[in-house]
Chains A and B, each alone.
Chain A
Amino acid sequence: MSIGVRGITKRFGSFVALDDVDLEIPDGQLVALLGPSGSGKTTLLRIVAGLEFADSGTITFDGADITRRSAGERRVGFVFQHYALFRHMTVFENIAFGLRVRPRSSRPREAQIRSKVGDLLQLIQLQNQAARYPSQLSGGQRQRVALARALAVEPSVLLLDEPFGALDAKVRLELRRWLRQLHDEVHVTSVFVTHDQEEALEVADRVAVMNEGRIEQIGAPGEVYDRPATSFVFNFLGNVNLFHGRIDNGTTYIHQTKTDHLVFVRPHSLEITRRSPDGVNHFRAVTKHINAAGPIVKVEAVTEWGATVQVEMSQERFRSLCLTKGEEVFVMPTQLTVFRSGERSPAANPLA
């Protein structure tokens, strides 16, 4: 089921949590709402779920206006950050809850409930834990039970609020791959909230980057990462080196003093060479710190004007350079994005 968010505004007292937000989510997609805390992403999710109501604007499911409908009428599956499992019920009863509370006329028979819950227990690989209570499960298991409970009512959309936020790093990684896999099988339109850019880029079909109650950019993970629409998105998605500069006749010059243009360069778009690259924009720097653990080598260097830059390169490149700490090297940007100070969208996107 497709979701339409049009002109949604929400205030809490004088604080504007959402400011005229528009968002279209096509049927069957998995979309991430990504942003720092306080950007309004959870509020937007709760408004879509019907747990919170907007001051103005409309929410549609498959084109039908459901702005005034209650959470129960919207048939959404909601997964909470802290699971919100019913602590006095077993895993089985937690999953069966949505079926048991249906009005008598539409309530499935006991045998149907049993087989449905059995299927879901198999899906979340917890068949042996049906009789356990939530307090006896690990965090990852609890979150999978919460997901099964939400799926039991065959929701029209699945909404997940920081679903992996309370888990440790390894379980997190495992569970988000599992969620991606699950979505490929079940195909229910899903929206999940996260502040972890890596998680959003890895799991989602499309990422909506939010900041201060607005959506800054929405697009496929590769699109928002490689072509950030605003300086905020550039900053928020991954590490970035910031330079002052100016544009002259289509050429970008990096400056050492403050100017009216900001130049953004990703660490992997900086190349280190030993010889001065003739005719190419470059500057000199001294390596300060090298982290060679993992597939990517991270080098921290200090420029000739005293600023610190982050450079990333492959292990092969690192070995062929024979780089050591405290060496003077040449650094040149291979790709950069320029924003005019105070403006949100890029001024130009030239190669140096």
Chain B
Amino acid sequence: MLDAVDFAGRRATAPAERSRSTSEPAAIRWLLIALAAAFLGVFLFLPLAAVFATAFGNGALAYLHSFSDPDTLSAIRLTVIAAAIAVPLNVVFGIAAAWVIGKFEFFGKSVLITLIDLPFSVSPVVAGLVFVLLFGLQGALGPWAIAHGIRIIFAVPGIVLVTIFVTFPFVARELLPTMEAQGNEEEEAALTLGASGWKTFWRVTLPNLKWALLYGVILCNARAMGEFGAVSVVSGHIRGLTDTMPLQIEILYNDYQFVPAFALATLLALLALLTLAAKTIVEWRTNR
């Protein structure tokens, strides 16, 4: 019998040198590297540094003091609530949609794929307006909701709804290629071994998806917390009640309160950095 191939060992001993004919002269190499570094510096590093520099412009105490404002705290709370509702729901929707599209053939499949992508192609402001038109005073469902004492527009439910809409594609889009690439054979094997459909899903399908799923959740969460346009339209900007973090940052900035505005912005920036780190770890795990 053949021995197992040690993949890790093979990768380590693979020749890493490139042939001379395909590499550029040193001067050109350094020029290209410098250009790339300058671009990254101006467009990525400098803005990030500026956010932190302004936030800490009056010292660490002033930075920490920014978070004692009740409106700011309420904005943070609302953002976390919106993400805590939107992300789990989109995980369920995303798995269901990817499962149906990836494992079955049916009429209207391409239409469903297009619909899942719709939130990507629609401007967030338009997405917000759609919900205002739907649930507003003159909207199709608005009068009914208000008659039953449910406030959606200019209230928390509206913010949660638009967040779900805007972040809908992330999980499904991440899962689809993995689902399609893995095919049905492992599930069929599980079924012939006597596993029920439910057990097959939990023990075979889901574990095979876990890294793609985590990746989708990370991206979905980052977008849910950072969304501005759609939330801005349905929020109504009631201070301390319907402002999320991005909206509160804008309000503080327009009030010339630069330190509190940028202090709050550092939280979103940190979220972005954490997301990047988590994304890198997940990618490293999946490629292993």
Q: Is the CB of B188 within 8 A of A80?
A: yes
- Min Cβ gap B184→A in Å is 9
Q: Is the CB of A72 within 8 A of B189?
A: no
Look across to chain A and name the residue whose beta carbon is closest to the beta carbon of B209: A88
Given contacts A78-B189, A80-B185, A101-B203, contact A138 B4 (CB under 8 A): yes
Q: Is the CB of A88 within 8 A of B208?
A: yes
Q: Is the CB of B3 within 8 A of A101?
A: no
> How far is A7 from B196 in the complex, measured between Cα atoms in Å?
29
Per-residue CB contact flags for chain A residues 22-62 toward chain B (1 = under 8 Å, else 0) read 00000000000000000000000000011100000000000
Contact residues in A for B1 (Cβ distance below 8 Å): 125, 138, 140-141, 171, 174
B187-214, CB < 8 A from A: 188-196, 199, 203-204, 207-208
Contact residues in A for B207 (Cβ distance below 8 Å): 88
> How far is A51 from B189 in the complex, measured between Cα atoms in Å?
9
- Min Cβ gap A100→B in Å is 8
- Min Cβ gap A147→B in Å is 12
Contact residues in B for A97 (Cβ distance below 8 Å): 190, 193, 195, 203
Check if B186 is an interface residue, CB within 8 A of chain A.
yes
Q: Is the CB of A84 within 8 A of B193?
A: no
Contact residues in B for A102 (Cβ distance below 8 Å): 194
Q: Is the CB of A101 within 8 A of B195?
A: yes
B146-161, CB < 8 A from A: none
Check if B27 is an interface residue, CB within 8 A of chain A.
no
- Min Cβ gap A159→B in Å is 8
Q: Is the CB of A101 within 8 A of B194?
A: yes
> How far is A71 from B197 in the complex, measured between Cα atoms in Å?
11
Given contacts A136-B4, A138-B4, contact A78 B208 (CB under 8 A): no
> How far is A88 from B196 in the complex, measured between Cα atoms in Å?
19
Per-residue CB contact flags for chain B residues 264-286 toward chain A (1 = under 8 Å, else 0) read 00000000000000000000000
Contact residues in B for A125 (Cβ distance below 8 Å): 1
Q: Is the CB of B193 within 8 A of A153?
A: yes
Size range of the chain B interface in the assembly: 20 to 34
Look across to chain A and name the residue whose beta carbon is closest to the beta carbon of B202: A101
Per-residue CB contact flags for chain A residues 127-157 toward chain B (1 = under 8 Å, else 0) read 0010010011111110000100110110000
Contact residues in B for A141 (Cβ distance below 8 Å): 1-2, 4
Q: Is the CB of B188 within 8 A of A51?
A: yes
> How far is A78 from B204 in the complex, measured between Cα atoms in Å?
17
Contact residues in B for A150 (Cβ distance below 8 Å): 192-193
Check if A183 is an interface residue, CB within 8 A of chain B.
no
- Min Cβ gap A75→B in Å is 7
Q: Is the CB of B208 within 8 A of A132?
A: no
A198-240, CB < 8 A from B: none
- Min Cβ gap A219→B in Å is 29
Check if A82 is an interface residue, CB within 8 A of chain B.
yes
A67-83, CB < 8 A from B: 70-72, 75-78, 80, 82
Q: Is the CB of A71 within 8 A of B203?
A: no
- Min Cβ gap A97→B in Å is 6
- Min Cβ gap A93→B in Å is 10
> How far is A152 from B193 in the complex, measured between Cα atoms in Å?
9
Contact residues in B for A174 (Cβ distance below 8 Å): 1
- Min Cβ gap A240→B in Å is 35
Per-residue CB contact flags for chain A residues 2-22 toward chain B (1 = under 8 Å, else 0) read 000000000000000000000
- Min Cβ gap B57→A in Å is 50
A289-338, CB < 8 A from B: none
> How far is A150 from B287 in the complex, measured between Cα atoms in Å?
30
> How far is A277 from B188 in the complex, measured between Cα atoms in Å?
62
Q: Is the CB of A72 within 8 A of B195?
A: yes
- Min Cβ gap B179→A in Å is 14
Q: Is the CB of B186 within 8 A of A84?
A: yes
B225-259, CB < 8 A from A: none
Check if A109 is an interface residue, CB within 8 A of chain B.
no
Choose from B4, B7, B188, B199 the contact partner of A101 (Cβ within 8 Å): B199
> How far is A129 from B1 in the complex, measured between Cα atoms in Å?
13
Per-residue CB contact flags for chain B residues 101-120 toward chain A (1 = under 8 Å, else 0) read 00000000000000000000
Look across to chain A and name the residue whose beta carbon is closest to the beta carbon of B185: A84
Choose from A72, A85, A88, A152 the contact partner of B191 (Cβ within 8 Å): A72
Contact residues in B for A50 (Cβ distance below 8 Å): 192
Q: Is the CB of A71 within 8 A of B204?
A: no
> How far is A256 from B204 in the complex, measured between Cα atoms in Å?
63
Could you list 14 A-B pairs, sorted by A, with CB under 8 Å? A72-B194, A80-B185, A84-B185, A85-B189, A98-B195, A101-B193, A101-B196, A136-B4, A138-B1, A138-B4, A141-B4, A146-B189, A171-B1, A171-B2
- Given contacts A132-B4, A149-B189, list 7 more A-B pairs with CB under 8 A: A50-B192, A70-B191, A72-B192, A97-B203, A138-B3, A149-B193, A153-B194
Residues of B with Cβ closer than 8 Å to A? Answer: 1-5, 7, 185-186, 188-196, 199, 203-204, 207-208
Leading 10 A-B pairs by shortest Cβ distance? A98-B193, A84-B185, A138-B2, A101-B195, A78-B192, A84-B189, A72-B194, A88-B207, A71-B191, A71-B192
